[in-house]
Amino acid sequence: MNNKLKTLAKGIFDVSPLMIPVFPFGIIYGVIGMELGIGPYMTLGLSIIIFGGASQIVLLQLFSGGASSLVIFSSVGAVNSRHLLYGAVLSEHLSTLKLTWKIILSYVMVDQAFAVSNTYFKNNRKNENKHFHLLGAGFTCWTIWQISTILGIVLGSVVPEELGLSFTISLTFLALLINDFRKFKNIIVMSVSGIVATIGFNSIPFKAYIIVAALSALAVAALLTLMNSKEK
């Protein structure tokens, strides 16, 4: 197997465990889309055009609450603004690629793909085909997301709401952080983010609580990093 295929396969393999919770998430999204009456085409259309689970759920919540287009648009932008930071982290590894590659990889740069490919990039700096890892991880996420969305559309209201499957959204992101629980500084950063988001959930306009919480936590992270470097 040549290096490109091998790296692609590694990307698919690495991201696969993270797809188990994504699948019910996609089903929930599909069911919610149908329940709110936007129809099967728009429900799937959101998954293809936006391709960002958390922001799609936020969009549906706001739409059903009668929010204006401008608020919905700003909120989707705010929820997805975390990708700016992902892009900044990954740019180091992707800057030499052609524009077409950058466009394709940007389209599939979701949370799970970023998490596994960022780790891979750090450990395999010399692999000149390392971007194939993100391609494999990203399109695995894409395929699973579309299939689960369709399944959710088909299932409609068959899945009982009592199962509380939306809780798996929190659990998925929590599971992505298990290695951070070992480091005291990371626990501080995570607490700041979580507490600011919880307090700001209602008080910060445009559902911008995610980016406000993230920037507050990053400011704390910067402070901790600078303090640490002075000690040395």
Region 133-172 residues binding another protein, contact defined as CB under 8 A:
162-164, 166-172
Binding residue count for another protein, defined by CB under 8 A: 92
Counting contacts by CB under 8 A, is residue 227 touching another protein?
Answer: no
| CB atoms inside a 10 Å sphere around CB 89 | 13
According to CB under 8 A, which residues from 82 to 141 bind another protein?
Answer: 82-92, 94-96, 99, 102-103, 105-107, 109, 111, 115
Q: Which is nearer to another protein, 143 or 170 (CB)?
A: 170
Q: In whole angstroms, what is the distance from residue 19 CA to residue 35 CA?
A: 24
Q: Which is nearer to another protein, 1 or 160 (CB)?
A: 160
Q: In whole angstroms, what is the distance from residue 226 CA to residue 232 CA?
A: 10
According to CB under 8 A, which residues from 50 to 79 bind another protein?
Answer: 50-52, 54-55, 59, 63, 69, 72-73, 76-77
CB of 175 to another protein, least distance (A): 4
Q: Which is nearer to another protein, 31 or 214 (CB)?
A: 214
- Kindly tell me which residue out of 3, 5, 156, 195 binds another protein, with binding defined by CB under 8 A: 195
Q: In whole angstroms, what is the distance from residue 93 CA to residue 123 CA?
A: 12
- Kindly tell me which residue out of 2, 178, 184, 230 binds another protein, with binding defined by CB under 8 A: 178
Tokens standing for residue 37: 């009456």
Contact segment (CB under 8 A) with another protein among 3-11, 139-147, 148-156, 216-224 equals 216-224
Tokens standing for residue 30: 């599909």
The residue type found at 55 is S
CB of 6 to another protein, least distance (A): 23
Spell out the alpha helix ranges (H) of the chain.
3-35, 39-49, 53-64, 69-80, 82-94, 99-107, 111-123, 131-155, 167-175, 184-203, 209-231
Classify residue 73 as exposed, middle or buried by CB count within 10 Å of its CB (0-12, 13-18, 19+): middle
Q: In whole angstroms, what is the distance from residue 42 CA to residue 95 CA?
A: 34
CB of 126 to another protein, least distance (A): 14
